[in-house]
Chain A
Amino acid sequence: MRKLTKSEFQKFVTALIGSDQQVVGVQAKGDRFAFGPLERSEDLRLDYDVTLLPPKKYVLPQVETLMTYEVGGGYQSHMDSEKLILLGVHPYDLVAINQMDKLFGQDQYDAHYMARRKNITLIACDVVTPSKNVFASSMGTAVVTEGYDILITDIANGYVLDAATDKGRALMKLAPGGTEASPDDLAKRKAVQDKNKTQLNQHPLKCKPSYLPKLLERAYDHPIWEEKARTCYSCGSCNTTCPTCYCFDVQDDVNWDLATGKRWRAWDGCLLENFATVAGDHNFRKKRESRFRHRLYRKAKYVPEKIGGEIACVGCGRCITACIPDIANPVAIYNALLEDIGME
């Protein structure tokens, strides 16, 4: 592990920006933060609390062309091939990306996602400022030991950088100076991580995350779904802002020649009213409460079944902030269920 002083680190970021890869980093957006193309190293804000949208938007873009075609003729695949450095990914968001890697890679291999993913270098960073709704400590996602190319930890008098992959090590060659991290630096790094393990916890979950699938097994007909969903707008903000939501819609549009066009996919959300509607207006998930319940089951039961038991809620707290009627908080729901039907 290397240690860079703050000014060395800034030079490193400048070198990354000057490289042949596009650098996307966390920057201020009004009084909040967002990932965006980074033009100057001084705009990078590794002290951010949480970004408005997760870095998912670079891994699974909001709108992505899948293919182009001639009407009545052939189809050609369209793949993104730009190399990209994602700089400043928090551990919980990193876990979400790693989960998505599994989901798009398993069974039927999604070449569009995987091609883009392989071109992305993930530079993660440990959290400095807890956000107002984060509960990553409860979900075991407050710190990470794998899944990144480089992990940065702010230890006040500098940064410790852990390059874990060839991709990461190649980038480290651009880092000017620096020293091998001393035992003291490493102790400071550990202290930051130990603190995050318990302190990123504005909504403490009253059970181990691994218990959630079992809890939900007994909660399907619980009145809580209806109680909460009564004031649900079906606005899908809890989907749109979630780092682990990956459902999509597919649509066509033609060019003005009406002879060529493209097919694209775009983010979708299971809370939206017509997510499961088929031709003839039959909606298989018509009630607000069944859509509301589906999201929670996806996060803590259905998706975990596909990825070896990992819970697909990483505790970023974005859905809590986004939900105007304040009903989306997963911990509030799980804790209420625990209270009511207990552990088995």
Chain B
Amino acid sequence: MCECCSSQKDIYLPELATIRKKQKFTRLEMYYHVELDSGKELGHKAGQFVEVSIAGIGEAPISISSSPTQSGFELVVRNAGSVTNAIHKLDSGAKIGIRGPFGKGYPVDEMKGKNLVFICGGLGLAPQRSFINYVLDNRKDYGDVEILLGTKCFEDRFYVDELAKLAQRKDVSFTETLDIGCDQWKGNVGVVTTIIPKVKTDLSKAHVLVCGPPVMYKFVLMSLAEAKTPKQNIFVNLERRMKCGVGKCGHCQMNDQYVCQTGPVYRFSELGHVPEAI
């Protein structure tokens, strides 16, 4: 090997990590607590993601669901294809490959002292939780905190114990809804936009963080426009096809933006010239 390669890190090479804890969340989602074998912390920022590698199958970008304030990191993986299916088959103690953290994440410092409203749809809770927990661990640094969560049905809810605790907290307001109601569910029924009017914080002054499936953004952003939330105070967390995670392969591009580098979190006002975004 020549000197140039030994001196430069290989950006495609995963490092080994071990699954320390696994828990079935729903029919499709599984929770994992992971530690790097190097003993080091991942050193991520809230809102960043990793490329999880399963040798022989491939890689998949997965959001980091835990706050940087805790040790190790957590992932919530939905079984959506080959790689994620292979992850689901792994148990505690199994080795996986990790690259990252990648992307920009949330501007956690800029938002200090601000009122925050999190709007999460389904699996969108997983990435948002990294920032929610960060805020809760640094609660005095932030203003009012409101969390809205919409899930398709009762069986699809995850992090249920934590959600129950959230609902108990006095310093956080938590509102949940299900698209489809059922006997076990006594709460709100309707898509997530139906609970936006219940927000107590003044939306025209709050910072709003949105993450959910592609179809959700249009409707939430319409509601926020009605509520007069300035575009520079809205943050969206976008999904794209990703292969490299490091700005080379071109797959994640939306117009001139490489989501793996300048996203997945975007300030909505910065997407004005990015028509492919939403």
Contact = CB atoms under 8 A, between A and B. Distances in A.
Interface of A: 66-67, 69-75, 77, 79, 81, 103-104, 107-112, 114-115, 118-119, 220, 246-254, 258, 261, 263, 265, 268, 270, 275-280, 282, 284-285, 290, 294, 297-298, 301-302, 305
A103 to B, nearest CB: 8
A110 B246 CA distance: 9
A246 B16 CA distance: 29
B1 interface: yes
Contact of B241 (A73, A75, A263, A284): A284
Contact of A108 (B5, B58, B247, B256): B247
Interface residues of B, number: 43
12 contacts: A66-B12, A69-B56, A72-B55, A109-B9, A112-B10, A246-B250, A252-B57, A270-B253, A275-B251, A284-B276, A290-B276, A305-B256
Interface string B260-278: 0100000000000001100
B251 A302 contact: no
A177 to B, nearest CB: 33
Given A276-B241, A284-B240, 13 more contacts: A66-B12, A73-B55, A77-B13, A79-B1, A108-B248, A112-B12, A115-B5, A118-B4, A263-B12, A279-B84, A297-B256, A298-B250, A302-B253
B26 to A, nearest CB: 16
B97 interface: yes
B86 to A, nearest CB: 10
Contacts of B81: 279
Nearest to B260: A108
Given A72-B55, A109-B11, A247-B251, A114 B4 contact: yes
Task: Tell me the dominant secondary structure on chain A's binding face.
Answer: mixed
Contact of A249 (B239, B240, B243): B243
Interface in B117-164: none
B59 interface: yes
Contact of B240 (A72, A109, A251, A278): A278
B97 to A, nearest CB: 6
Nearest to A284: B240
B27 to A, nearest CB: 15
Contact of B244 (A70, A77, A250, A252): A250
Contacts of A302: 253, 255-256
Contacts of B214: 282, 284
A231 B34 CA distance: 49
A111 B139 CA distance: 42
A111 B250 contact: no
Contacts of A109: 8-9, 11
A277 B5 CA distance: 33
Nearest to B99: A75
B275 A252 contact: no
Contacts of A110: 11, 248
A115 B2 contact: yes
A252 B55 contact: yes
B56 A111 contact: no
B277 to A, nearest CB: 9
Interface string B180-220: 00000000000000000000000000000000001000000
Nearest to A285: B276
Contact of B56 (A77, A252, A280): A252
B94 to A, nearest CB: 7
Contacts of B276: 284-285, 290
